[in-house]
Amino acid sequence: ALPPPDFAAADASGDDFAPPSTLTQSRLASIFSDVLGLERVSIHGNFFELGGHSLLATQVVSRIRSTFDVELPLGELFSSPTVALLSERLDLLHGSSSRQPALVPVDRAQPLPLSFAQQRLWFLDQLQPGAATYNIPWVLKLTGDLNADALLQSLNALIQRHEALRTRFSIHEGQPVQLVQHDFRLEMPLIDLSALPQQQRDAEAQRLAAADAVRPFDLAQGPVVRASLLRLDASEHQLLVTVHHIASDGWSIAVMVRELAAFYRQFAGGEPAQLSPLPIQYADFSVWQRQWLQGDVLSSEIAWWRTQLAGASSSLELPTDRPRPAVQSYRGAMFPIGLSRELTQAVKALAQREGATPFMVLLASFQLLLSRYSGQDDISVGSPIANRNRSETEGLIGFFVNTLVFHSRLDSKQSFRQLLSKVRTSTLAAYEHQDVPFEKLVEELQPQRDLSRSPLFQVTLTLQNAPEEELELPGLILSGLAPSIETAKYDFSLLLEEGINGFAGVFNYNTDLFDAATMERLSRHYLVLLEALTASPDAQLGLIPLLTLAENQQVLAGWNGVVSDYPRDASIPSLFAQQAARTPDAVAVVSGEESVSYAQLDSRSNQLAHYLRTLGVLPGSRVAVRLDRSADLIVSLLAILKAGASYVPLDKAWPSDRLAFVLRESSAGVVLS
């Protein structure tokens, strides 16, 4: 149990800071204050108004489990967000002990299995050895008088403290296992750029960082981490660190920087690192996860997700700038997005009024944006979650992060307030079932696989609640630099964090699908949507504006104000014939590698039209067309019109009963396929 806060300094007049009347309240107040980073917490202070959010709420639940041996549903904290209210709920839950087994160190003599998440990355590495898709690069700017020897000592002390950073992966009896290297020492090459002119020096530093970020790891040989030091001048250095995702995640980077700073204080200035001993290592978590998530526990968790995602669409059909490749590519880029301070406050105020979190508001509005872009009312969005819902894992470096699927059905006649309420309920429920690894969920649900896109969802949303701040060390200041991301694991991802000026971040998008201009337009529309939703949360979703004033004016006046004269009584075939006569050699159709001129299109469609006539196609007839998007499709449609008939489009993905119904009802006598 954490020590209770010092209430002796409270006002003696008996206000909210009076000593708690029960041991439960005292311990809860201590948990609240420790998680929120506050000296003391009022027993009637609202956790979320004091700065709490979903991630911190998960930590509160984790520490309640450790302190009281009670499994508290996360939703209880949202409905009882004060120490006073939550202590009453805990009294009612007394005796309902945690269903999870203890997370303790295991015997290192036994084979150490991979966690479910690790096993997926290991398998992908076997399929595509040498790929850098799952590298995690970060750059630390070091300003001041750097002691390079102390920095290298600090890195190696960090690696000795965390087994995950000195683990390689091998095969034992046909299964992948973790092998911890006890005598591993990291090298840190020094690259001196100080002799270069500043502009050239900065460009070279960026080039080296980008090159290091995509250099592959050998998981079988190790190591899974590397570092190099760039010297820009006497008082400025950059530490380049790249870790494979199999040993790290976003939370781990914060742990690495914090503990690296603690060790540097020790080796550079003699100040003890003051780091508490780690209760477990990552391999202990892997064994615990394998032992717990099986049998009835796993079946129950999978059953919940199966119900939650029942009927969910497996693909989000966004309009892309280029055809989707047959096999998903991972080439990516970034486009910045930022919410103004006023809009950020509006998002937070709406969340507070509705008993939600800013993430829930951003998620609901993001799903509405995707619905408007795709024309679908069934939207699934992925979101990474720290998955550190046990106190033993909070200080570890390792691959804990999990991905949750947030699924919503949108009704254009509902209000945003109603949508937010549904998203709040489903999000809290998903948090309570976050232990099922996404990899295991896909394996169990077995969605129809499509190599051109990721399973279950193709777009993600991430809100980083606690951006890292500068760290001051003896004669040195540490600050993070944004790494260059040239990969994209999904169609696109919205990555946000809260800074002093509001929520800001980037769209990380697949460059084989989208152009930067499309991301700029998407970003613009999202901001317009958010402003409208926060200002009028009771308006119908279908009436919420998406376009800017300039775009709205362009659609209503600019494009509709154009008057052109053309022969309104002419048919499409005659207009096409005139164009073919004017520009016979101009390209009319491009399909993949095939290009068709107007003369060729006119000739081919004439041939097909004459052939249709021989089959009995007359003016007024109907001809069914069952073709992929291609030049042949354009030839066929034009030929049918030239024959005086109309066409009936058939989708090749339709089931046979649907195809038979349309053919029967349309009375089509001929099918072009």
DSSP states of 343-393: HHHHHHHHHHHTT--HHHHHHHHHHHHHHHHH--SEEEEEEEE----SGGG
With cut-offs at 50, 70 and 90, classify the pLDDT of residue 526. very high
Mean pLDDT, the chain, as a whole number? 88
As a whole number, mean pLDDT of residues 116-139 equals: 89
Rounded-to-integer distance, Cα 13 and Cα 298, Å? 52
pLDDT at residue 98, as a whole number: 59
Classify strands 225-233 and 332-338 as parallel, antiparallel or unpaired.
unpaired
> Mean per-residue pLDDT for 257-282?
91
Does 190 score more than 70 pLDDT? yes
For residue 300, pLDDT beyond 70:
yes
- The model's pLDDT over 237-260, given as tens digits with 9 standing for 90+, comes to 999 999 999 999 988 998 999 999
* pLDDT given for residue 202 in this prediction: 92
CB 626 within 8 A of CB 648: no
**Which tens digits make up the pLDDT trace of 439-449?**
889 988 888 88
The structure tokens 């075939």 sit at 573
pLDDT tens digit sequence for 537-560: 999 999 999 999 999 888 888 888
**Token pair in block for residue 520:** 């700029």
Contacts of the segment 256-262: beta carbons below 8 A, 24+ positions apart: 256/158, 256/397, 257/140, 257/468, 257/471, 257/478, 257/480, 258/471, 259/158, 259/161, 260/140, 260/154, 260/155, 260/158, 261/471, 261/473, 261/478
Judging by beta carbons within 10 Å of its beta carbon (0-12, 13-18, 19+), is residue 549 exposed, middle or buried? exposed
pLDDT of 92 > 60? The answer is yes
Domains defined for the chain, CATH in brackets:
23-93 (1.10.1200.10), 112-282 (3.30.559.10), 299-317+328-556 (3.30.559.30), 572-672 (3.40.50.980)
Contact partners, residue 575, CB within 8 Å, separation at least 6: 566, 567
Query: What's the rounded mean pLDDT across residues 311-326?
Result: 91
65/328 Cα distance (integer angstroms): 42
Mapped onto helix, strand or coil, the DSSP state of residue 460 is strand
Q: Taking a C-beta distance cutoff of 8 angstroms, is the pair 76, 90 a contact?
A: no
The arithmetic mean of pLDDT across residues 4-19, rounded, is 35
Question: Whole-angstrom Cα distance, residue 517 to residue 614?
Answer: 49
Pairwise CA distance, residues 77 & 98, whole Å: 17
Residue 596 in tokens: 């068709």
Residue 564 pLDDT: 77
| Separation CA 565–CA 418 (nearest Å) | 48
Q: Dihedral through CA 442, CA 444, CA 449, CA 452, nearest 10?
A: 10
Query: Residue holding tokens 């299995």?
Result: 113
Q: Which residue has the tokens 């010092």?
A: 6
Print burial letters for 344-354: b (CB count within 10 Å at least 16), e (below 16).
Answer: bebbbebbeeb
Predicted local distance difference test score (pLDDT) of residue 96: 59
Average pLDDT for residues 597-620, to the nearest whole number? 95
Q: How confident is the model over 142-147, as a mean pLDDT?
A: 93
Q: Map tokens 């690259």 to a residue.
A: 191
Contacts for 43 with CB less than 8 Å, ≥ 6 apart: 16, 18, 20, 25, 29, 82, 83, 84
Residue 3 has pLDDT above 90, yes or no: no
Per-residue pLDDT, 512: 95
Which tens digit of pLDDT belongs to each residue from 152-172?
999 999 999 999 999 999 999
Give every CB contact of residue 7 below 8 A, 6+ residues apart in sequence. 17, 18, 19, 20, 40
**From CA 545, how far away is CA 523, in angstroms rounded?**
14
Residues 445-464, mean pLDDT to the nearest whole number: 90
**Burial level of 219, CB count in 10 A (0-12/13-18/19+)?**
buried
Under 8 Å CB-to-CB from 117, ≥6 apart: which residues?
Answer: 399, 400, 401, 402, 437, 438, 439
Query: Is the model more confident about 459 or about 100?
Result: 459
Most confident listed range (45-59, 262-276, 395-409)? 395-409
- Looking at per-residue pLDDT, the higher value among 279 and 448 belongs to 279
Q: How far apart are alpha carbons 312 and 407 in whole angstroms?
A: 7
For residue 9, is pLDDT > 50?
no
Say yes or no to pLDDT of 94 above 80: no
Q: Check residue 95 and give its pLDDT.
A: 60
Overall average pLDDT of the 510-529 stretch: 96
Kindly tell me if the per-residue pLDDT of 8 is higher than 70.
Answer: no
Answer yes or no: are the C-beta atoms of 452 and 325 closer than 8 Å. Answer: yes
pLDDT at 466: 53
Task: List, for residues 221-239, the tens digit of each pLDDT value.
Answer: 989 999 999 999 999 999 9
